[in-house]
């Protein structure tokens, strides 16, 4: 039936390049296809993983402790929020002035934080500084709230190292009170994190300029395998004094809670009245969007974090996952040094976390896709979770071919 639809003027929206690559991979019927695009952990058989600690919590503990399906409060499952706060800031840190609410994973936390800042950021500054390169959604989220975004130098593509001086200068030159988006660990897409010394230098400039630090914490424990080591930057920033800090936390990667969409947004405040005011405003934002967050994943995380045996199991599984990725980095580098010795491949093992910034060009990545059915983003980012003992030689061989 033909009718005069009010939607007739709507054009097709742009596809997300990473998600579209994954869909194209699913449609590909070639038996030799390899997916190096999606940011989700796979074991050495290229299969998704549900952590043993999560399985045990879901099967043995969840039905007993949480038999009902009542709504969570607007701010989320209280126990989950408190345990998450301790995981970020430490067991022995006074966090009574930290406002925290449950979020729809990391993306939801970033959106919630951007919405909050758009309403309450004092002054005229509407500038958000994002690393070059960064996760593509960072820019989209902040521009959606009418912030002006600029990139600060981060990755030197010639040397495959951190552009320390370029980054510090950009932060120094930015208007005071700008929002600085920082990857707490496991930088996406480069896999290159500042050293502790570099983090201290970054913090000094941010303090001098009274910038607002907004940490994206998507990979705690998944970057190095050590929950404490991966949280160094945030723990350093909350000292002497904390200053304005927001943290978007996700359990998608480090606890395999991808589809459960579990995370938090926390905001450091200067006192209890301020904290309570911030929480109240965050709840009002939440109320207008989804009223209250889902309970299942948050309860599972609470059971793992609140049970010493399950928490130890989780930490062991984190080390196992990161050890596999580190081993694949080593194997890939060794194979490439044999097949393409004219180039340096040290950056593959210098980088950490799920992603590797290979240095391949968009043209070379296109050849990988069209000629060899290897799926990578056009900027040369590859997911190390897609590399296995059975395909690492193939990947190296194909890389060497497109480099010729």
- What digits encode the pLDDT tens for the residues 284-342? 999 999 999 999 999 999 999 999 999 999 999 999 999 999 999 999 999 999 999 99
Angle 339-343-349 from CA coordinates, rounded to 5°: 85
pLDDT digit string, tens, across residues 188-213: 999 999 999 999 999 999 999 999 99
pLDDT digit string, tens, across residues 36-60: 998 899 999 999 999 999 999 999 8
For the residues 3-14, what does the mean pLDDT come to?
A: 86
* Residue appearing with tokens 């709504």: 71
Long-range contacts of 342-351 (CB under 8 A, 24+ apart): 343/403, 344/160, 346/160, 347/160, 347/161, 347/192, 350/160, 350/192, 351/190, 351/191, 351/192
Whether the full predicted model's pTM is greater than 0.75, yes or no, is yes
Residues classed as catalytic? 135, 216, 253
Four-way CATH pick for 71-306: 3.40.640.10, 3.90.1150.10, 3.90.420.10, 1.10.3720.10 = 3.40.640.10
Query: Residue 4 has what pLDDT?
Result: 78
Q: Which CATH architecture has domain 17-49+312-403?
A: Alpha-Beta Complex (3.90)
Tell me the C-alpha distance between 74 and 289, whole Å. Answer: 11
Is pLDDT above 70 for 1? Answer: no
Parts of the chain belonging to CATH 3.40.640.10: 71-306
Mean pLDDT of the chain: 95
């Amino acid at each position: 039936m033909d009718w005069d639809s009010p939607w007739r003027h709507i054009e097709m929206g742009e596809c997300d390049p990473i998600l579209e690559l994954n869909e194209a991979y699913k449609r590909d019927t070639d038996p030799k296809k390899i997916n190096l695009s999606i940011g989700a952990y796979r074991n050495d058989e290229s299969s998704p993983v549900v952590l043993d600690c999560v399985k045990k919590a879901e099967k043995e503990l969840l039905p007993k402790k949480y038999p009902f399906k009542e709504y969570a409060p607007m701010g989320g499952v209280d126990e989950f929020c408190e345990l998450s706060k301790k995981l970020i800031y430490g067991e022995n840190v006074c966090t009574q002035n930290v406002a925290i609410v449950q979020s729809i994973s990391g993306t939801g936390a970033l959106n919630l934080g951007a919405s909050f800042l758009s309403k309450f950021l004092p002054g005229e500054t509407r500038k958000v500084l994002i690393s070059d390169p960064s996760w593509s959604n960072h820019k989209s989220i902040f521009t959606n709230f009418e912030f002006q975004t600029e990139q600060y130098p981060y990755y030197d593509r010639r040397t495959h190292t951190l552009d320390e001086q370029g980054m510090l200068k950009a932060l120094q030159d930015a208007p005071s009170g700008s929002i600085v988006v920082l990857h707490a660990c496991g930088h996406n897409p480069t896999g290159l994190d500042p050293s502790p010394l570099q983090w201290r230098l970054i913090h000094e400039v941010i303090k001098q300029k009274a910038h607002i630090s907004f940490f994206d914490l998507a990979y705690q424990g998944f970057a190095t395998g050590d929950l404490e080591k991966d949280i160094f930057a945030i723990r350093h920033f909350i000292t002497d004094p904390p200053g304005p800090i927001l943290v978007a936390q996700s359990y998608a990667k480090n606890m395999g809670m991808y589809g459960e969409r579990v995370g938090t947004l926390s905001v450091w405040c200067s006192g209890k009245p301020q904290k309570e005011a911030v929480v109240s405003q965050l709840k009002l934002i939440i109320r207008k969007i989804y009223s209250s967050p889902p309970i299942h994943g948050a309860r599972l995380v609470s059971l793992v974090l609140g049970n010493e045996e399950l928490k130890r199991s989780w930490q062991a599984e984190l080390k196992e996952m990161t050890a596999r990725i580190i081993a694949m980095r080593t194997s890939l580098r060794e194979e490439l040094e044999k097949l393409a010795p004219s180039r340096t491949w040290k950056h593959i093992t210098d980088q950490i976390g799920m992603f590797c910034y290979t240095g391949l060009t968009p043209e070379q990545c296109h050849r990988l896709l069209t000629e060899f059915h290897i799926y990578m983003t056009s900027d040369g980012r590859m997911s190390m979770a897609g590399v296995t003992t059975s395909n690492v030689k193939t990947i190296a061989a194909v890389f060497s071919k497109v480099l010729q």
